[in-house]
Amino acid sequence: MYRLIEKLIKPQLEKWLKSYIDTYFTEYMFQGFFDERIKKVILTQYLIFGDSQRLTLSSTCVVNNALFNLSSGNISVGDYVFFGHNVSLITGTHNYTKFGLERMQDFPDEGNDIFIDEGTWVASNVTIIGPCKIGKHCVIAAGSVVKGDIPSYHIVAGIPAKTIKEIESQFQYSDSHLNEGQQ
């Protein structure tokens, strides 16, 4: 009898519960509570390897499910920086001349810092290997591997990431452009 009840009632109960939770969660989001309660930082299942005190995230960044490896340096993410999914920031490295357990345990404590300046977009599946400084308002294309500094206002792509375009830092609109379509 128990199995029959479990077979008939459990799926319906689970379906109702999921629907109720989804509805409540959606209503909660649309009431604007998240902005006030989390200070506009959206951190969804990110992972920290190493000392979390070495990670500095702006209150306006979006990191999604990034991996932060802090074993050999600090990581700083600036204002309005946003990540796609599966982004990895790696400060750790190992001594390839060692073997076995000795190789696993031999890594520097510092020197591989990563700094990402304001407004940068790091697309999905990007790996950033320290030390490096990424300038303001850069775009790092999906799947790229960054192994060095990137100047501000640059688009980079590839393995290793190389500049493919420079972004104009200022946009000037004429009055005719602003009034376009208002006749």
Q: Compute the distance between CA of residue 87 and CA of residue 78 in angstroms, rounded to an integer.
A: 16
Q: Whose CA is closest to 73, among 47, 43, 103, 53?
A: 53
126: tokens are 């990007």
Q: Which of 85, 94, 137, 177 is catalytic?
A: 94
**Rounded distance between C-alpha atoms, residue 68 and residue 125, angstroms:** 13
**128, 142 in Cβ contact below 8 A?**
no
- Assess whether 94 carries a catalytic annotation: yes
Q: What are phi and psi of 115, to 5 degrees?
A: -125, 125
Strand order in the sheet with 47-49: 47-49, 67-69, 88-90, 127-129, 145-146
Contact residues for 95 (Cβ-Cβ < 8 A; gap 6+): 103, 106, 107
Query: Among all residues, which ones are annotated catalytic?
Result: 94
